[in-house]
Every structure is written in C-alpha cells, then in structure tokens.
Amino acid sequence: MTDSPRIAEVVARFAVPPEATMQQLLEVLDRNGEGVVMVLDEERRLLGLVTDGDIRRALLARMDFGVTAAAFLASKKAGGYERPLAMPADTAPDEIERLMRVRLVRHMPLVDGENRVVDLALQRYLSEGDNLAVQAVVMAGGFGTRLRPFTEATPKPLLKLGDRPVIEHIVGQLKAAGIRRVNITTHYHADKIRAHFGDGCAFGIDVRYTHEETPLGTAGALSMLDGADEPLLVVNGDVVTAVDFRALVEFHREQKADLTMAVRKYEVSVPFGVVEAEGARVIRLTEKPSLAFFINAGIYLLEPKVLRHLEAGRRLDMTDLIQRLLDDGTMVASFPIHEYWMDIGQVDDYLKASMAPELRRQGK
C-alpha cells in the first residue's frame, strides 16, 4: 500500500504502532504539539487515540511509561473507553467542526471505508481566530536578586532568551493559545516593561498593567485587578515553558476545580543506601534510590471567586492562598507538565535556558 504525501506526513507526525512504549508516544506528542497521538496497526487502521489529558492523568497516577501503547489502550477500554471517535474522510469541514464542538474534542481522525486513517482534522485550523475565554496575568514585579549582575539595570522578565525577552516568549505563547487580554504586574523597573509592550497593539494583544508600589507577593497583586469576571491564568514572569495552555484550561474544567496549579516532576537521587527499620529491626535496604516528587511550576488557573480570599493591598503568596483554599475544602487540582519547563530564577538556569533547543523552536 503506497501512501500519498499527505497521509505519510500525518502518520509520521501523529501516529505510533501498538508496540511503541508510552515514553515513545509521549515524545511524539511533545513533538507534534497538538495534544494527540493515534495508535495505528500496520495497515494504518485506527486502534485508538491517546490524548494530552490521558498522558497527564497517567503522570498523576505515576504510571510506568515503559508499557506499550496497546496495553495502555487496553486499560482505557477496561475503564469504559469507547472505540475512538472518527469521521469519514469525505465529511464536509463544517460538519467536522460541528461534531468536534458537540463532543468537546480538539482532534478528529478522518478514515476511509476500511477504518484506515487518511488525515487528522485539528480544531484550531477549522476554527481560525477562536479565542480562549481566559484572562492572563504575568507576574513581572520581582527584583531578580539571584540573577545579578544581569538584573542590576534590567528587570528579570526583560532578560533576553534568544532574540527576545523572557516575558515576550510568555506573552507570545498566551496569544498563540487564544488569549487576547494580558495583565502584567510590575514593580522593579516598571517603566521599562511598559515601554517594551505599551498597550500591546504591536503584539496583537491587549496589555494592561497593575503596579505594586510595595511588593505584594505572588498572589497579593491579584486583589488589585479590575473586574476579573473570567478565569485567570497566572504565570510567573521567570518561567520558560512549552506547556499547552489550552490543555490546562480543559483539564481545569474537567476537574471542576476552583484553582489548578501546574506541577512538574522532580527527581532526587540519594547517593547512599537507604535503610528502613521498625524499631531496631531492619526491614528494607534500598541502594541509592531515586525519589520523585511533584513541584510547583509557577503557573496557575483560578476562578474569579477565588479572589474573595484576598485582602486589597495585603501581601500574600500563591502558596498561602492555595493553603487557605485547601483549609476551606476547596477543589484544588494539579496539572502535570510533561513539556519543556525551566525556572530561570538563577544564573545557571538562565544560561541553560538560553541554549535550549525547545526555546529556539518557540522563537521561529
């Protein structure tokens, strides 16, 4: 069977065979950047879909990513997963878009009469200019003390990564996700940040500013926002990432969360044998184990009602706000990041991020 150039392109970019491991599948998903991978047999028949949400739930469950795609699909089927949704290849584009909106999906495999994939429809191309009903807040008021001497005359968000400042990478991603209103919180060298972005017109977005006369922490400045009636996507101004913001919004809604915090897997290798004991009796010895944790990635999505927990003009960090919500029994969800992520708050990390190939791809 000879495939057309279009089919070959779709298979190369979006498909894996059933014997591929989930780690290999994750690498394909990260490369295509569209939040979906198709599992196809050797005849190109559609066996199943693995979505961005599937991957993030698997990360939270600490699944072994050495298992095959076929085994993962079998586990989904055991959990009530239906056969993968697909449409005939000759379906009109407006009908494809209509069904995708009804079924709340961003991807639709198009198949022939033998269930062989011939194309993949993506909602973002069918719905050009579809905006995300979310406001963004970029926290850009910090002094960048740990980045001196780079930040002695330049605010940390305006440090260059490649040919653009850090904050311009962040704002560009927000725009690409369909977010059109960005509020930037400022304090240190606020005039330079305002001079760079202005009203945002040159960048194709609406930029507004919230100036902190006194630093209010990573959450306190949110109390100064005017008329926040949409979910707020809050991003620390020293985070460089390729995270899919649309996937974050979908996950937040799926979890019915009041606040969702992005988390990143972090491993610590213990250079010694770890001894576990009950009293004097040794019960287990593990040689040089690696311990894995989820850490705060500095990205949050919160509902407007969460702002009721803030006091105007009072300093509060996001971690303290989250603890207040947890104490009140509020639903706080964790959204695991599998894409590139780097906190550039220290010199070594800033220099490392400057050389990252992921950053160079984002700058294209």
Question: pLDDT per residue over 275-288, tens digit each?
Answer: 999 999 999 999 99
Handedness of CA 292, 297, 301, 304 (dihedral sign): positive
What is the CB neighbour count within 10 angstroms for residue 269?
8
Query: Are residues 74 and 53 in contact, defined by beta-carbon separation less than 8 angstroms?
Result: no
The CA distance from 173 to 177, in Å, is 6
First-to-last alpha carbon distance for the chain, in angstroms, is 36
- pLDDT, residue 364, reads 38
pLDDT at 219 over 90: no
Is pLDDT larger for residue 292 or for residue 38? 38
Q: How do residues 95-145 score in pLDDT, each as one tens digit?
A: 998 888 888 788 899 999 999 999 999 877 665 556 788 899 998 877 777
Q: What percent of the chain clears pLDDT 70, i.e. is strictly above it?
A: 93
Please compute the mean of the pLDDT values over residues 169-183 and round it to a whole number: 89
pLDDT at 66 over 90: yes
Nearest 5°: CA angle at 245, between 244 and 249? 125
Arithmetic mean of pLDDT over the chain:
86
Is pLDDT larger for residue 135 or for residue 84? 135
The CA distance from 71 to 58, in Å, is 13
- pLDDT, residue 358, reads 54
- pLDDT, residue 155, reads 80
pLDDT at 345 over 80: no
Query: Are residues 57 and 134 in contact, defined by beta-carbon separation less than 8 angstroms?
Result: no
The CA distance from 19 to 3, in Å, is 21
Beta-carbon contacts of 232 under 8 Å, excluding residues fewer than 6 positions away, are: 134, 135, 136, 137, 222, 225, 300, 301, 302, 304, 307
Beta-carbon contacts of 34 under 8 Å, excluding residues fewer than 6 positions away, are: 14, 106, 107, 122
Please compute the mean of the pLDDT values over residues 204-230 and round it to a whole number: 83
pLDDT at 186 over 90: no
Cα Rg for the chain, rounded, in angstroms? Answer: 23
Is pLDDT larger for residue 187 or for residue 295? 295
Q: Tokens 């990573």 correspond to what residue?
A: 218
- pLDDT, residue 361, reads 44
pLDDT at 89 over 80: yes
